[in-house]
Amino acid sequence: MALQAKNQAGRKTIAILGAGINGAALARELLISGVSVAVIDAADIAAGATAWSTRLVHGGLRYLEYGEVELVRESLVERDRLVRLAPHLVRPLEFYLPVRTRLGGMAAAAARLLGCESLARAWQGTRGRGSWTVGMGLRLYDQLPGGSGWPRHRMVRASAGGMPAVDSTAFPLAGLYWDAQLLYPERFTVELLVDARRAAAETGAEFRVFTHHRCRLDGDGMLLVEPVAGDARGAAVRIEPAAVVNATGAWVDRTLAEALPKVLSGRLIGGTKGSHLLVRSAPLRAALGDRGIYAEAADGRPVFVLPFGDRLVLVGTTDLPFSGDPDDARTDEAEIDYLLGAVAGILPTVAASRDDVVQHYCGVRPLPFVSREGGTPASITRRHMLVRHADALPPCWSIVGGKLTTCRSLAETAAAELLGRLGIEVGGSSRDRPMPGWSAGLPAVEAAAREQAVAAGLPEDVAARLARHAVGLYGARAVDVCAAIRSAVRSPPGMDSGGLSHAGQALISDVEVPKSAVAWSVREEWATRLEDVVERRLMLVFDERLSRRSLEDIAAVLVGEGVLEKERAAAEVETVAARLRQRYGKTLEGTSA
Ligand SMILES: Cc1cc2nc3c(=O)[nH]c(=O)nc-3n(C[C@H](O)[C@H](O)[C@H](O)COP(=O)(O)OP(=O)(O)OC[C@H]3O[C@@H](n4cnc5c(N)ncnc54)[C@H](O)[C@@H]3O)c2cc1C
């Protein structure tokens, strides 16, 4: 029966607009059922909110106060599942939640639970939630996923040994609990699509990914897919979709208006913008150790202070109404002051200064549109919805809201709804399907990747660092990526991505990343632009050593791979250097400010 469904499904293509985490998860889910899929993104894989998030896979403790118990349960179950299925990317992280009082916040929490947000704010006071309120929330948090085997929470005194250096006079007590960190949701999204391609190979369905392409549904129900300006790769394509899913996040309303003009809909999205800072401060980083801090800023908003690799600290986030083009959202100085002020309030002895902020980023949450009377941005639900545009032809749906954490469960429910409406049997599920980089033994993978790098002629210490980084990006696939260094070094000049003659030249200048990984991004992971490689494949955007020379080296490989014209390489380097400055406040060495 399932095979019949697959064959039946194979003839139909579902077009998914948007290759964020939700569009990618849905593509994978449909391909597991043997349905052909075309994913079209106006920019790149994970180029929207997915990349601008706090990078947590979490239940969302504070949503309990808003009575979102089912959302928290679903998120916690998914958190446990993603840690199991993608251990290289989703890693458990212990959180320290400082509190000022024992009894504070109970009346406000009760008001919030009853839906009286304005009363809750009036009763909130400046002392925040007390240890009783926090303890109750954490007890529920422990129980909701149901026998997950994760360590239970503990309430501790701030003066106990080994705790982060919070102001223990202001915050004498704290809750300790576990959630998970997804350092690179960009990589997770790419892997979802890599797995979607594997699922397509298994089921015989067709799978196409168009990045840097725009599309528009015409009156005959055909989708015209065209490369955006400046794309070197070819011609427009026409697809006859069996259904269209608008998974464009904060752009959902714009997409309806511009790409799906025949689909009638009221306003669906009411986004808020959120900014994050990356701070380089050795005392602050040391104060965190292996824990993240989840605290309240002076105005009661949640603030996360998180370890980001060995040297950096990620601080976020703000939550401000935003109605412009999500692509124009930028961190402003007031947000930087606000976030630094919040850190100073929690950790005064290791407070960071403006000079410690090495970069920042900002994005728009794709929240459902609601009238804000009496509410705050924080009170808008983080639940996801699948909106069916009832009269549309071909059938059309929009995804509204959601979290990184629930991308898989959202995809599962959305696939069931879509396939049900199209009369196609669900042929499988991602519930227990490991991600492509999954491994039960990541230390062994790291050792094997290091061996490959050493065999390619790299010094032991460089090979060790490179292997560790590669496992954080690729998991089990790190061995193949590192093996590719060797073949690139051995290939005769003219046959590889730059005619490498010895191992030293195998690395991109100033960063310890092999040039062969750039070629891998193009051949295996749909990268076509310098920006794709830097920001969403090799994650070099977060490498402080990234320089103009690094960009030039990457551009040279892209030329070798045939996705960048040689004459345009220098201009592409300029464009990306300017983008890093404007979008991230990051100035590269050798670039005027
Ligand atoms: C500040 C902030 C912090 C967050 N923190 C967390 C967190 O810690 N944990 C968590 O679970 N969730 C978090 N979230 C929520 C989460 O990031 C988002 O809900 C999720 O990433 C949405 O994914 P998406 O695929 O729906 O949208 P997006 O990731 O925004 O993807 C939409 C895609 O559509 C593309 N697109 C736009 N227009 C078109 C068009 N016309 N045609 C084709 N493609 C188009 C864009 O280029 C983009 O790639 C956070 C969000 C923000 C903004």
Residues 6+ away with beta carbon under 8 Å from 476: 88, 436, 437, 438, 439, 445
- Please say whether the beta carbons of 141 and 60 come within 8 A: no
Task: Classify residue 334 as left (phi > 0), alpha (psi -120 to 50) or beta.
Answer: alpha
pLDDT mean across residues, the chain: 89
pLDDT value for 80: 96
Q: Tokens at residue 74, please?
A: 């679903």
Ligand 1 centroid – CA 51 distance (Å): 7
Q: What are the pLDDT digits (tens) for 185-236?
A: 999 999 999 999 999 999 999 999 999 999 999 988 999 999 997 665 667 9
Q: Which of 548, 555, 561, 452 is nearest to 503 (CA)?
A: 452
Closest ligand 1 atom to Cα of 276: 1
Please determine, for residue 503, whether its predicted confidence score (pLDDT) is greater than 70. no
Cβ of 250 less than 6 Å from ligand 1: yes
Please determine, for residue 86, whether its predicted confidence score (pLDDT) is greater than 70. yes
Query: Quick one: pLDDT band at residue 534, thresholds 50, 70, 90?
Result: very high
> What's the rounded Cα separation, in Å, for the pair 323 and 326?
8
pLDDT value for 571: 97
Please determine, for residue 492, whether its predicted confidence score (pLDDT) is greater than 60. no
Task: List beta partners, residue 174.
Answer: 98, 156
Query: Quick one: pLDDT band at residue 323, thresholds 50, 70, 90?
Result: confident
Please determine, for residue 379, whether its predicted confidence score (pLDDT) is greater than 70. no
**105/268: higher pLDDT:** 268
Cβ of 402 less than 6 Å from ligand 1: yes
Scanning the structure block, which residue is given the tokens 């303890």?
Answer: 135
Query: Quick one: pLDDT band at residue 79, thresholds 50, 70, 90?
Result: very high
User: What are the residue ranges of helices labelled H in 92-231?
Assistant: 106-113, 117-124, 131-143, 185-203
Scanning the structure block, which residue is given the tokens 């976030």?
Answer: 339
% of the chain with per-residue pLDDT over 70: 88
Please determine, for residue 511, whether its predicted confidence score (pLDDT) is greater than 80. yes
% of the chain with per-residue pLDDT over 90: 73
Q: Tokens at residue 590, please?
A: 């050798």
DSSP string computed for 318-348: --EE--S-GGG----HHHHHHHHHHHHHH-G
Mean pLDDT score, 425-442: 96
Q: Tokens at residue 66, please?
A: 């808003």
3-state secondary structure of 358: strand
Q: Tokens at residue 128, please?
A: 């925040």
> What's the rounded Cα separation, in Å, for the pair 566 and 124?
60
Q: Which of 518, 564, 526, 442 is nearest to 83 (CA)?
A: 442
Please determine, for residue 135, whether its predicted confidence score (pLDDT) is greater than 70. yes
Q: Which of 542, 481, 547, 471 is nearest to 508 (CA)?
A: 547
Choose the residue to mutate in 403, 405, 408, 409 for probing ligand 1, maximizing ligand atoms within 8 Å of C-beta.
403
Choose the residue to mutate in 41, 268, 277 for probing ligand 1, maximizing ligand atoms within 8 Å of C-beta.
41
> Residue 36: which H helix or E strand, with range?
strand 36-41
DSSP string computed for 425-476: -----STT---TT--S-HHHHHHHHHHHHHHTT--HHHHHHHHHHHHHHHGG
Ligand 1 centroid – CA 249 distance (Å): 5
Ligand 1 centroid – CA 467 distance (Å): 30
Query: Quick one: pLDDT band at residue 495, thresholds 50, 70, 90?
Result: very low
How many CB atoms are located within 10 Å of the residue 234 CB? 8
Q: What are the pLDDT digits (tens) for 337-356?
A: 999 999 999 999 999 999 99
Mean pLDDT score, 159-182: 90
Query: Quick one: pLDDT band at residue 63, thresholds 50, 70, 90?
Result: confident
> What's the rounded Cα separation, in Å, for the pair 19 and 41?
5
- Please say whether the beta carbons of 218 and 51 come within 8 A: no
Query: Quick one: pLDDT band at residue 5, thresholds 50, 70, 90?
Result: very low
Choose the residue to mutate in 365, 367, 528, 529 for probing ligand 1, maximizing ligand atoms within 8 Å of C-beta.
365
Q: Tokens at residue 124, please?
A: 């909130």
pLDDT value for 398: 97
- Please say whether the beta carbons of 367 and 401 come within 8 A: yes
